[in-house]
């Protein structure tokens, strides 16, 4: 069984990796939204909803990047102490989850509205697009677990 502190650090490392990947050197949050838009072949009404969904997602990702920077600072600050208090980090994690909830909910709701507007071919195109990206997330997760758990 993995200790709670180790689970927290795995999550923190994953979040940091995702934020670093998302932010990149130019804070690029494209995530191939242009490619998805082309693959969906949206109607004008769908395009309006798509723009709302992408905008909500970008706001959420920007907040995630800012939180990632704060988490990195908080972790360094706590680890610099002779006796780090991991409870402080757990409290920080809880607070950032709460702060981000409205933006995540907004993005989710906007994507749901778009999804309800899509026809069968568009849903299939969206499913393929998401499946391709989930493969990459799984590889990132496996890599991070290997680093933290030492290949176990």
Q: Is the pLDDT of residue 66 over 50?
A: yes
Extract the tokens encoding 79.
């680890």
Whether residue 2 lies inside any domain: the answer is no
User: Taking the model in full, what pTM does it have?
Assistant: 0.66
> Would residue 10 count as lying in a domain?
no
Tokens 């006796």 found at: 83
Tens-place pLDDT, residues 125-147: 988 888 877 766 666 556 555 65
Contact 55, 111 (CB under 8 A): no
Q: What is the pLDDT of residue 105?
A: 93
Residue 5 domain-assigned (yes or no): no
Half-sphere exposure of 142 (CA within 13 A, CB side): 6
The neighbour count for residue 90, using CB atoms within 10 Å, is: 13
Residue 84 within any structural domain of the chain: yes
Per residue in 93-111, pLDDT tens?
888 888 889 999 999 999 9
For residue 102, give its domain range.
15-149
Q: What is the mean pLDDT of residues 67-84?
A: 86
Question: What's the chain look like in SS3?
Answer: CCCHHHHHHHHHHHHHHHHHHHHCCCCCCCCCHHHHHHHHCCCHHHHHHHHHHHHHHHHHHHHHHHHHHHHHHHHHHHHCCCCCCHHHHHHHHHHHHHHHHHHHHHHHHHHHHHHHHCCHHHHHHHHHHHHHHHHHHHHHHHHHHHHHHCCC
Residue 8 lies in a domain: no
In a domain, 1, yes or no: no
Locate tokens 């490619």: which residue? 35
Structural domains counted in the chain: 1
- Within-domain flag for 6: no
Evaluate whether residue 3 is within a structural domain: no
Tell me the percentage of the chain whose pLDDT exceeds 90.
Answer: 30
Q: Tell me which residue of 140, 5, 11, 19 sits closest to 68, measured CA to CA.
A: 19
Q: Does position 76 have pLDDT exceeding 60, yes or no?
A: yes
**Of 34, 53, 12, nearest in space to 61 by CA:** 53
């Amino acid at each position: 069984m993995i200790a709670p502190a180790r689970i927290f650090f795995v999550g923190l490392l994953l979040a940091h990796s995702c934020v670093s990947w998302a932010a990149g050197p130019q804070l690029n949050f494209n995530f191939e939204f242009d490619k998805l838009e082309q693959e969906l072949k949206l109607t004008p009404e769908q395009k309006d909803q798509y723009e709302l969904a992408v905008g909500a997602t970008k706001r959420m990702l920007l907040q995630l990047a800012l939180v990632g920077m704060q988490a990195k600072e908080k972790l360094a600050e706590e680890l610099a102490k002779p006796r780090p208090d991991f409870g402080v980090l757990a409290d920080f994690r809880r607070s950032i989850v709460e702060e981000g909830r409205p933006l995540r909910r907004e993005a989710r709701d906007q994507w749901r509205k778009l999804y309800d507007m899509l026809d069968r071919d568009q849903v299939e195109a969206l499913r393929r697009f998401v499946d391709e990206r989930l493969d990459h997330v799984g590889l990132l997760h496996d890599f991070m677990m290997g680093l933290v758990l030492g290949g176990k």
